Chains A and B, each alone.
Chain A
């Protein structure tokens, strides 16, 4: 889950900054409202310009903006490294209104209807780099696993890709994030990460079953 650590780091940084700014503005506002209320004043200042203060302040703001962008993009860089040899290449296809997951190079596909609680479960190896490509069969969808803090849009007539490493075994819920029509709300899926050994066993079983179902050589 490299995105999770990137997200956490950026999140901590920006929430702290935002919290400090909010507290400061609220404090100044509360001070002003109390200190300068009409009951406590005999006149109002008529001053309109503080050019030097504002100039210094504007430069400060510019530095803060540049600081935010450079820090967060530096942290963000870490997630864009592409694995040279991914353990699995997963093809994710969104359609109205469910998902189809294909393991590229294997005759294995996972899908469901997303109706009446029948959601597909995509099985992946933990701790190994996974290459994900995503596209759509109809309208724009978006492949989002909230616990991984990452999503990528699934466009028709276009393929997006990203790399993913799931650090531990477990099961998580995913949603379609891009509004895609009538049953967008129930376009869910599960991600199940298992040990690499268990994953290969699972993939082998599914491949064998698929071969049997399509009339392959009997064993």
Chain B
């Protein structure tokens, strides 16, 4: 095996995979593509669960499914979306793109990255296999608070499988994140300094720092739960019940940003590409991402305002301070658009919709970070509306911006613009029709995680509107699935750089060769965080002179 054609002779490269093809690959692109494919597939499954829930809640007093089954469905929907869909998608997007964006031929410790993928798959299978048991799947919500989740109050193996699945999948994410951080710190091409990393790569650096800082706390919480599954008397002491919540939320808040930053990074790349200019406010954005991540480790108690056992004033202060870095990021996004030359293909539409939609999530976030307001809003549909605006209207729109943007790079095939636009508009309408009523329902007093609700004024109407919105979201996802199927069947071959991109992944072929760059696809000199834009400027200057 020779590596002579690769640009970096000082680099010891892993061998190109030939045994095991995809399943035992050490190519970061294949590991990431498999992770992205599994996460996308599971996304559809979690959407189906959401549709069952919305059907049950369409009117008061319906019993399409029993309380027990409903509780399993909302648990697996929430757990699935957080542990198995958005987090893995976010990290895998980084595993695919970061080595390319920093001009590296491979990811560091690729077998560890691959192990991370398999742990994720094993975790997903374990978590979902509970549905095959007579007792059903885990049914205690994605938070699984004890003592409800101990073996006294939740019997059956479904909860054990849930616990094992979450543990293993999260461990996989920690491994993937560690190799990603190592890659950025140690494997950058010469001239790629830290302040020339693309915005997306920075968003990944910050995300994996949070993974490494916060995710082990969830493993500890699950360890405590495992003890309680064997001997529930451990939860006869308040310290372990409230202690679990502290351990859980020390993970549970940073994970929100792990599910968010990579998509902010994706949106930043999409906005700047289709504005035809470098991302405006690069350094303030990088520093605000770092500050955001550091602050995110100090805000967890805002999930516990109503426990009577948290220092509410302190957590309100740290949580509200988050609006400073968030505001700086918004400044960056808007000032990139102002002065640009804007084009509007599908990735740009999703990125533009992300801006006001995520803002709804952010602004309602300030509200629920205020104890005087949260005493009412906590555990109500207001909170459900809040986090669906951050995660669906925000992160998932960023996810789709990235999906349409990088799909040609990953597959070598363009997605259809027409179906993409249909998907986009159905998503916008569906998202807002589904989730705006949640704020009103929460204020009216509808608690979250209820399998049914009393027939009170407006409750039936608002829930029905929301269910109609969910149906529209279902249609949007059908358009999305059709787009993928059609594009992969009747192929429109993607060029290396279909959009006029700014970063190094667009200088190599679509899909890139095994070692990312070679003699046919050489790396250019890097002089800023937008090397391809610089390359085009230099070429234009030469042509003019």
Contact = CB atoms under 8 A, between A and B. Distances in A.
A10 B370 contact: yes
Interface string A122-133: 000000000000
Contacts of A57: 327-328, 331
A209 interface: no
Interface string A1-34: 0010011001100110110011001101101110
A157 B241 contact: yes
B456 interface: yes
B448 A179 contact: yes
Given A47-B339, A151-B378, A173 B370 contact: no
Given A36-B275, A140-B145, A29 B356 contact: yes
Chain B contact-residue range equals 35 or more
Nearest to B279: A48
A185 B147 CA distance: 18
B447 A177 contact: yes
A153 B241 CA distance: 12
A15 B321 CA distance: 18
Interface in B59-101: 67-68, 71
Given A49-B281, A186-B452, A7 B375 contact: yes
A50 B313 CA distance: 34
A44 B363 contact: no
Interface range on chain A: under 10, 10 to 19, 20 to 34, or 35 or more?
Answer: 35 or more
A57 B330 CA distance: 11
A7 B356 CA distance: 26
Query: Can you list the 5 inter-chain pairs with the closest CB atoms, starting with the nearest?
Result: A146-B445, A45-B339, A160-B308, A44-B276, A185-B450
18 contacts: A15-B367, A25-B355, A29-B356, A44-B275, A45-B340, A48-B282, A49-B280, A49-B283, A57-B331, A61-B327, A142-B306, A155-B241, A155-B307, A156-B147, A157-B236, A157-B238, A161-B308, A185-B450
Interface of B: 67-68, 71, 139-141, 145, 147-148, 153-154, 235-238, 241-242, 275-284, 306-309, 313, 316-317, 320-321, 323-324, 327-328, 330-331, 334-335, 337-344, 352, 355-356, 359-360, 363-364, 366-367, 370-373, 375-376, 378-380, 444-445, 447-454, 456, 533, 537
Interface of A: 3, 6-7, 10-11, 14-15, 17-18, 21-22, 25-26, 28-29, 31-33, 35-38, 41-51, 54, 57-58, 61-62, 64-65, 68-69, 72-73, 75-76, 79, 96, 138-140, 142, 144, 146-147, 149-153, 155-158, 160-162, 173, 175-186, 188
